[in-house]
Amino acid sequence: MGMGTSNFVIRWINFLTMLLAIAVVIFGVWMSTHHDECRKSLTLPVLGLGAFIFVISIIGFWGALKKNTILLWIYLILLCIILVAILVFTVLAFIITNNGSGHNVSGLRYKEYQLKEYSSWFLKQLNNSDNWKRLKSCLVKSEDCNNLAKQFKTLKQYKMAKLTPIEAGCCRPPSECGYPVVNASYYDLSFHPVSSNKDCKLYKNTRAVKCYNCDSCKAGVAQYMKTEWRVVAIFNLALFIVLSIIYFVGCCARRNAGQTRVFKA
């Protein structure tokens, strides 16, 4: 790549990268507005990533514009760090989210989830008493379970509903318990559970209790986190490819800037 060409290209690529960084920040803001406090664990990292890329783009743009070798070196080092970080996070995200999937239940349009099927990292985080206490508090405040009765006014509507993993795991007892359904927020607990699953005895109709202490609730949260992590991992994979191309062009610009200084000397 020619001396002038690489500097011209990197200026415009970094200008586009600034726009990309703004898009990443907007994506992070979107995540924060569409998730409550319980389910926006990746919002701050995404916002931080967008801000970091924006700063790197400014350094790269200015370094290419002024043909400043020092700025281009700083730009390449920072870009290399962010590429390694994105790669490590993406690989770990795919490994962590590789396990766990829902099970179909006869007569229902949604799936039920089992905590033991998820990765050890999820198990460690969700079985931590402090973590779960905070998450449970958020889930109670979110009113997801209490809103089911408003969404599905008849028993038929409720049975035909496609509940989210959190609604399926936290708002109702596991199907294997065999409790008769009265409505979307109430089960007849006078019947003896037909399963030995401990979640059957933990479930209560009380709005502040429900199945928030159940493993099925933790599994629902794990499934939600898995989906969220997968979306961010795929986004990061695309970002890694784009930034790798930019890194290659940046190397050419730095080399040419160095050659320019040699020729001037």
* Residue 29: per-residue pLDDT: 76
Q: Do residues 211 and 201 make contact, with C-beta atoms less than 8 angstroms apart?
A: no
Classified as helix, coil or strand, 193 is coil
**Residue ranges of domains in the chain:** 3-99+230-263, 103-221
Q: Residue 222: its pLDDT value, please?
A: 92
What pLDDT shows up at residue 217? 95
Three state DSSP letters for 103-167: EECCCCCCEECCHHHCCHHHHHHHHCHHHHHHHHHHHHHHCCCCCHHHHCCCHHHHHCCCCCHHH
The secondary structure of 30-91 as a DSSP string is HHHHHS-GGG-TTHHHHHHHHHHHHHHHHHHHHHHHHT-HHHHHHHHHHHHHHHHHHHHHHH
Rg (CA), the chain: 25
Query: What pLDDT is stored for residue 7 in this prediction?
Result: 61
Nearest-CA neighbor of 36 among 125, 126, 142? Answer: 142
Q: The whole model's pTM is what? A: 0.76
Look at residue 254 in the predicted model and tell me its pLDDT: 60
Residue 246: the pLDDT is 75
Instruction: Return d(Cα 197, Cα 116) in angstroms, integer.
Output: 13
| Residue 218, pLDDT score | 94
Beta strand 181-183 with 111-112: parallel, antiparallel or unpaired?
unpaired
Q: List the chain residues with pLDDT less than 70.
A: 1-10, 31-42, 250, 252-265
Which tens digit of pLDDT belongs to each residue from 166-191?
Answer: 999 999 999 999 999 999 889 999 98
Distance of CA 157 to the CA centre of its chain: 30
